[in-house]
Chains A and B, each alone.
Chain A
Amino acid sequence: MNHTIPDWNANTDAVVQLNITGSAPPLACEGLPLRFRGQAREYVRLWVVNVALTLASLGLYGPWARVRLLRYLHGHTQIGNHSFDYEARPGKILFARLLMLLLLALLNLGPVILQGWARSSGVAAGIQALLSLLVLLWAPWLAVQALRFRARCTSFRHVRFHFGVGGRHLWREAVLLALLRLVAVPLSLGLLHPYSAWRSRRFLIGQRHYGTTPFVFTARPGQYLRLHLRGLALLALVGAALLLTGATGSAVVGRVRQGERPPLVLGLGMGLGLILTLVCTLLWLTYLEAGAARLTWHHTTLGPLWIRCGWRWRELLVLRLTNTLAVLFSLGLLIPWARMRGLRYRLEGMAVGPAEALDGFMAREGDAAGAFGDEALSLLGLISPEL
């Protein structure tokens, strides 16, 4: 009777073909690895058809297209034999989008109407500034709303995830995190970054539930600090590359100022310095990304379930560089391929266990988060949509 359920293991040819970096990273412990079965060709077809339908409907089909593509990505992410699902209702997204567009239109048209009516540009400008300020004050609440919506739309075995259910002062924490990241971190010249990284993860993971079961996040800020300290060695490399660029660059500029032709060696040195700076910066960021992901998931549990992440920064770096080059040299045609490849590495680098614990989660009733926060902030360009 089971013959209609595809046997993924028999179907790996196409997957192996695409997986250039080799197998998924080895994990330190036994458990159920995540599997990502998305294929670039299939995804592109879905993407083209949905974009075409969106154009044909002059944009109205947009929410359906997005849900369809996200359903593809979620549906091809599996633990054991079961896949995730994306359960947003496109009609609700459309409604939220239209509502926000209407609001934006009023904000845009406001000055024209007001000036015709108030006959004074000062009053009109004042009212518009006030409205913009209101939207800005509204943003943290919208951000929490967006997080709730995104979590709620994701389900595994048809039990939904939730964010911030019953949580208190979410709004305050969102404001605090935004201030920390946008003001305090730059002012402290990055010294506060480990703390900001820890605190935002505590918020994003610690407020999350799978059904009725909360995620528990036990990492300490000190651990993120130690990670960033280890990263300093790589930052020193960036510094050295910058120094090389600066030294050769100023020499080249000096020669040119004196009316001489700079020797080829100097030019080559400057080019090399620039490339090295870029690569080293990428290396440093990738090291932090992989380290933070391993650290974060290592200290996250979901009820009886442990979670592990086995990303390795060297592999992640190779993946990034090859993806970037592929996209550049194909003039963007390979974007879907690069996307599938990136998702495969990141997802297949994770595992959960023990397997039998997956059966025991219960769904939560009555968390109705609307699509408005997500749509509003996406339309304003303040957050990037999931797709």
Chain B
Amino acid sequence: MTVLSGEYFDGTSSRPTPVTLTLLPPDRLRLSSASWQREQPLTTLRLEQRAGQAPALLHAPDGSVVEVWDDGSLARWMGSQRWGRWRRLLAQAESRPSAALAVIGLAIGAVTLALVQGLPALSGLGARAVPEAWERSLGEQVLAELDGPLLQPSRLSAQRQRQLQQLMADLRPQLPVPIQRLELRAADQIGANAMALPGGILVLTDPMVEAASADELRGVLAHEAGHVLHRHGLQSLLRQQSLNWMLLMAIGRPSNLQLLSESLVTTAYSREFEREADREAVTVLRRLGIPPQRLFDLLHRLETAKGGRRPGWLESHPNSTERRRSALGPGS
């Protein structure tokens, strides 16, 4: 019969008492010191596994604790406890390299699955669950925040602005989703660009209007309508937020990892959104009888005008060649 030695603390004083532990089959534990003996059903005890060289602890319901160094036998005795099996597995992961590697593999698998499948699926569901009124209010809020620091009132002539609004009005029936309104803005810092805000507000910047022909503008607007259709603004917000919250949950404090995840993961999602919106744009352009190639010509022109690119995996948009290929097929 195995006899373990340990030290008993009654939980009311700091004086230790040397004890021996014996298992009384099937499920009772006997503690014996020089002057007393007590028995305790195993099911009432809580085992805390060793951490490194620190002793294993047996907590009794009355607050008393036994420190034991040989936790191998102890873990076997306690194996039938609730969570006992899992606790033993965890302890093994901490002490055996092979088990540790398995845990690391599991972690990599789980994170990959969550990023590739889980988060997109969840954000899709979440975006559909958000009431339209909230989404519209979010869009207004984003526009209000961008106005001023990044966007200024458009400097296009009133006539040109009317023309553009007319172009938008004519395009509307062809688009797969209702568009709230088109906003025109000067954007000295961003340059030629277009945006789709949550709730269906489209923004065109003056340089974009100047750089593009009417057909190309239709392509750009159709692309932005694709973003609106798939609620990409809301989805990317949801994905970014859930990532942030998960990191906060894991670490328990704000950390720089949040910035890292934003720059790497969120841009990857954004590239995926761009391809999805491109596909919508191509459908609309084909229906209008405009060669979809026009849109990608414009993108290519803007890209070469802008010059110097960062590596692809840091960019929020794939480059124009890649976008054309993924929207029109490799032969184009």
Contacts and interface: CB of A to CB of B under 8 A. Distances in A.
A49 B52 CA distance: 13
B11 to A, nearest CB: 6
A5 to B, nearest CB: 6
Interface stretch (B99-107, B160-168, B222-230): B99-107
Interface in A89-119: 97-98, 101, 105, 108, 111-113, 115-116
A82 interface: yes
Contacts of A49: 93-94, 100, 103-104
A97 B134 contact: no
Contacts of A158: 9, 11, 14, 64-65
Nearest to B118: A58
A66 B51 contact: no
A145 to B, nearest CB: 16
B103 A72 contact: no
Interface string B92-135: 01110000100110111111001000000000000000010110
Interface stretch (B146-154, B172-180, B243-251, B314-322): B243-251
Given A72-B52, A115-B141, A82 B16 contact: yes
A311 interface: no
B93 A53 contact: yes
A6 B69 contact: yes
B81 interface: no
B141 A112 contact: yes
Contacts of B138: 112
Interface of A: 1-2, 4-6, 37-39, 42-43, 45-46, 48-60, 62-63, 66, 68, 71-72, 74-76, 82-83, 85, 97-98, 101, 105, 108, 111-113, 115-116, 121, 156-159, 211, 358-363, 375, 378-381, 384-385
Interface of B: 4-5, 7, 9, 11-16, 18, 20, 48, 51-55, 57, 63-65, 68-70, 90, 93-95, 100, 103-104, 106-111, 114, 131, 133-134, 136-138, 140-141, 144, 241, 245-254
28 contacts: A1-B20, A2-B18, A4-B69, A38-B52, A46-B94, A49-B93, A49-B103, A54-B250, A56-B110, A58-B114, A62-B249, A68-B94, A74-B54, A112-B137, A112-B138, A115-B140, A116-B134, A156-B14, A157-B9, A159-B13, A361-B13, A361-B14, A362-B12, A362-B14, A363-B14, A380-B254, A384-B253, A385-B253
Nearest first, the 8 A-B pairs at minimum CB distance are A75-B54, A59-B249, A59-B250, A52-B107, A116-B137, A158-B9, A361-B14, A55-B107
Given A48-B100, A55-B110, A58-B111, 6 more contacts: A63-B252, A68-B51, A68-B94, A85-B57, A157-B9, A158-B9
